[in-house]
Structure 1
Amino acid sequence: MHLAAYFPGVNNTTVWTDPRSKSQIEFASFEHLVRTAERGLFDFFFLAEGLRLREHKGRIHDLDVVGRPESLTVLNALAAVTERLGLAATVNATFNEPYELARRLATLDHLSGGRAAWNVVTSSDAFIGENFRRGGYLDPADRYTRAAEFVETARELWDSWTPDGLPRPFAHRGRHFDVAGEFTVPRPPQGHPVVIQAGDSAEGREFAASAADVVFTRHGTLEAGRAFYADVKGRLARYGRAPEELKIMPGVTFVLGDTAAEAQERAVEIRRQQISPQNAILTLEQIWGVDLSSYDPDGPLPDIDPEPESALARGRVRVADRYAVAEQWRTLSREKGLSIRQTVIEVSGRQSFIGTPDAVAAELDELVRSDAADGFVLVPHLTPGGLDEFVDRVVPLLQERGVFRTEYTGTTLRSHLGLPEIVWKG
């Protein structure tokens, strides 16, 4: 089983009101979480990215995280306080260029002794693109073609130095990039930093099968996980790849208790903290596309239809069919007698694994044995101490089951993940 730790902040699972919640930009917070993950023998530490603070009704959403440091800068600093833990940065392939990003990733790989990873994400959002010189607009159909060529170009740059330290000129001529020159950084210790991909569309799955080493997915249940696992792994053969060359790791949350009842009670309280009354109304407005501030969070859902197009929220994932989602939520609310807040909690405030440490360890083990995942990216609900309890109480049980390492046997992230070595293409 492979395990990774996600730094909480760029999502609504983080509980900011808890007295134990600390800063999401101070170095001490990052250091605490990576030291915990390395103590737990995790494969890697994972930073998300936000290139613009999200807005709602023309204002920065004050329940969102305010401040998102640049990922690679943070990871270069964390390389100095860790020895074996992989360091993964989410970096956008739409708003960066291959030469510069390849240099930054190769530098991290050298400074960390071969522990760098790149989570490739894309965007066609002109709102985010306003922060960039060329306006940022990219047709959705071009997102993955650019990303695929971006990864291909970066790998050409990393291969432009020979393994014995000799630089060679490079040249790439393609649809999205036309670059030539000499790369300034010697070949990375891993050959190529590990490539992670998180898209779930048909294009995203195909991109993962063709170019990724790890897939970060939302499919954390047995049935959905097995379907996703079979689909993506089934695409590998057409690219000459074996199933073990791609690791599938869903993002999951957890709540532990000494008894099942205690864990459930804690989970209910965490859900209520995650979905405040204000956040419930805001979430509803993102679906309906209209101002619902006059509605009572403890009252029924609106009986009006959503607006098909709305600019109420900017910087968030677009809802493809607002009416269908609204109908689904209203049906759920009627059947279970749920208020607005209770409905939002039901559909978006859910923990993946709830129970005693032994029960959680058994369930994680079952998903891996059932080909629903190769491992998990754990998303704590607290910054920075939310991972401590899992490392102290669940990891030893996984080790007793013989499904998780008791020590690091390699020094690079590729070795942790059991990925094949990169053969230099001279």
Structure 2
Amino acid sequence: MSEARKQIILGAYVGGVNHHTVWSDPKAGSQIAFSTFRHVARTAERGRFDFFFLAEGLALRERGGRIFDQDIVGRPDTLPVLAALAAVTEHLGLVGTLNATFNEPYELARQLASLDHLSGGRAGWNVVTSFDAFTGRNFRRGGFLDREDRYVRAQEFLAVARRLWDSWPTDAIAAERDEGAFLRQKDAGSFDFTGRQFDIAGRFSTPRSPQGHPVILQAGVSPQGRDFAAGGADAVFSPYHRLAEAQEFYRDIHARAARQGRPPGSVKVLPSASFVLGDTAAQAEERHRDVLLRQISGQTAQILLESVWNRDLSGYDPDGPLPDVDPDPTGPRVIQGRAVLHQDPFATVAEWRELAAARGYSLRDLAIHAFGRTEFVGTPAQVADRIDAFVQQDGSDGFILGSHLVPSGLDEFVDQVVPLLQERGSLRTDYGGRTLRDNLGLPAPADGTLAA
């Protein structure tokens, strides 16, 4: 093509503890078996995706003191899954969600550097935080960290990890085993860090990895979260799917990154998304409605709204009107272990009531509207057009895609949509880089110890 097009970044995720994956489908696989993760990863690599993404669940969620089993119960640890996938893929990045609140810098930095070595430079870390005392009980840290301090710890955690990764210079791993090489390596790995959260010193045991630093991802919508992402992340998750608000978020993240001295292109913006395809637009819409009804049953709808109302809503008819009671944000949590998605429940409920009145929504209809997640519905050509247009207009740099059907759902996208994106020059036809950082078009990290 005569005009160079912005290249679309694609990640593939395996849904876990959420309502989006229809685990009850007869074609669904296991959330534990390695075959599930292997199939999705290999399909993504066949489609020339940039990376495979795995979320994290540190505690079994509870509802009213009992195990919350609306989707699945149980998930393997993130890092062993990614290490296993490194052996059955060649180019695909391997990104895991790992908590900066409950881990320690030395151990986690060592694990990620090891994954980067084992995969030949394909490791990534989605940095998340927590102030959840319920999850913290598993780590004997329940309630130890105030909500306002979670990013303070995360920022210092990331600074320490980078100090550890940079404690080995670039030439230490590549040096020949001559006398000079041994002298250089004798001094490698030394670190000393004292801050508000961490006070550690010693020698980092893992040599500098192929990428120098694993690729860092982060999700943050609050001003504090946006500053953290813009200052320290290579990619940031965007919660926005409508073009105008997505463009505003895109501009804001890049402006914040520039104010922190980062060059253009240093931060990629990636919303999550799903898709439903059909031979015609009408068929796709029909399939989409069927998927939504299977994702959000009547009971699931009640439970999703309980996360905002913080009340037991099991007595309300899913096909009836919205609950006529106000939220109870100060009461004991009805749902434990689920992320808080709406900071102001009163404003959220007021908005939902206006919407339900205007559109005649039942409780379940409202839940489908508020928590349904499929953004791209149509023929393969229509979906390719919409994805490409969104990226070319700077709504994002790409998408992290999942399917309601795990593990085989992504096959449909790779077989039918990917070739169309490749034909228009918006998606690679082969991998051009050696590492995940290369393929994402990210600058290499500077060699040498970073300041705290």
Give distance in 1, aligned partners of 2:109 and 2:325. 50
Give distance in 2, aligned partners of 1:249 and 1:343. 26
The answer on 1:147 being equivalent to 2:154 is yes
- C-alpha RMSD of the superposition: 1.3
Q: Deviations over 1:250-288 (max 9, x none)?
A: 111111111111111111010000101111111222222
Q: Which letter does structure 2 place at the counterpart of 1:314?
A: Q
Task: Give the match for residue 394 of structure 2.
Answer: 371
Task: Give the match for residue 313 of structure 1.
Answer: 335
The answer on 1:349 being equivalent to 2:372 is yes
Task: Give the match for residue 320 of structure 2.
Answer: 299
The answer on 1:36 being equivalent to 2:43 is yes
Structure 2, unaligned stretches of length 5 or more?
A: 1-7, 173-184
Q: Deviations over 1:134-186 (max 9, x none)?
A: 33531111111111111111111011112222224111111111110001111
84-93 or 370-379, larger mean C-alpha shift: 370-379
Task: Give the match for residue 52 of structure 2.
Answer: 45
Give distance in 2, aligned partners of 1:423 and 1:324. 45
Task: Give the match for residue 176 of structure 2.
Answer: none
SS of residue matched to 2:250: helix
Deviation at 1:328, TM superposition (A): 1.9
CA contact (8 A) 2:132 2:142 kept: no
Task: Give the match for residue 128 of structure 1.
Answer: 135
Distance 1:151 1:331, change over 3 A: same
> Residue 199 of structure 2 is aligned with which of 168, 178, 185?
178
The answer on 1:103 being equivalent to 2:125 is no
Give distance in 1, aligned partners of 2:299 and 2:400. 29
The answer on 1:397 being equivalent to 2:404 is no
Deviation at 1:234, TM superposition (A): 0.6
CA contact (8 A) 1:5 1:377 kept: yes
Q: Deviations over 1:44-91 (max 9, x none)?
A: 000001111111111111113211211111100110000000000100
Give distance in 2, aligned partners of 1:99 and 1:350. 37
Task: Give the match for residue 226 of structure 1.
Answer: 247
SS of residue matched to 2:220: coil
> Residue 261 of structure 1 is aligned with which of 282, 285, 289?
282
Task: Give the match for residue 193 of structure 1.
Answer: 214
Count of matched residue pairs:
426
Q: Which letter does structure 2 place at the counterpart of 1:51?
A: L
Q: Deviations over 1:354-386 (max 9, x none)?
A: 111111111111111111111110021111112
Q: Which letter does structure 2 place at the counterpart of 1:273?
A: R
Give distance in 2, aligned partners of 1:75 and 1:352. 27
CA contact (8 A) 1:277 1:341 kept: yes
Q: Deviations over 1:6-59 (max 9, x none)?
A: 111132111122111110110000000000000001100000011111111111
Task: Give the match for residue 145 of structure 2.
Answer: 138
Give distance in 1, aligned partners of 2:343 and 2:18. 20
Give distance in 2, aligned partners of 1:236 and 1:387. 33
Give distance in 1, aligned partners of 2:324 and 2:446. 60
Distance 1:134 1:342, change over 3 A: closer
Q: Aligned runs of 1:214-253 on 2, under 5 Å? A: 214-253=235-274
CA contact (8 A) 1:80 1:112 kept: yes
Task: Give the match for residue 22 of structure 2.
Answer: 15
Q: Which letter does structure 2 place at the counterpart of 1:225?
A: A
Distance 1:85 1:350, change over 3 A: closer
The answer on 1:204 being equivalent to 2:229 is no
Q: Deviations over 1:221-250 (max 9, x none)?
A: 211210100000011122221221111111
Give distance in 2, aligned partners of 1:224 and 1:14. 26
Give distance in 1, aligned partners of 2:410 and 2:303. 28
Q: Which letter does structure 1 place at the counterpart of 2:26?
A: P
172-181 or 326-335, larger mean C-alpha shift: 326-335
Give distance in 1, aligned partners of 2:217 and 2:431. 21
> Residue 411 of structure 1 is aligned with which of 422, 427, 434?
434
Distance 1:70 1:350, change over 3 A: closer
- Percent of aligned positions that are identical: 58
Task: Give the match for residue 359 of structure 1.
Answer: 382
Q: Which letter does structure 2 place at the counterpart of 1:53?
A: L
SS of residue matched to 2:384: helix
TM-score by length of 2: 0.92
Give distance in 1, aligned partners of 2:402 and 2:221. 18
Task: Give the match for residue 71 of structure 2.
Answer: 64
Runs of 4+ off more than 3 Å: none
Give distance in 2, aligned partners of 1:34 and 1:258. 26
Give distance in 2, aligned partners of 1:193 and 1:136. 30
Task: Give the match for residue 55 of structure 1.
Answer: 62
Structure 1, unaligned stretches of length 5 or more?
A: none
Give distance in 1, aligned partners of 2:35 and 2:111. 23
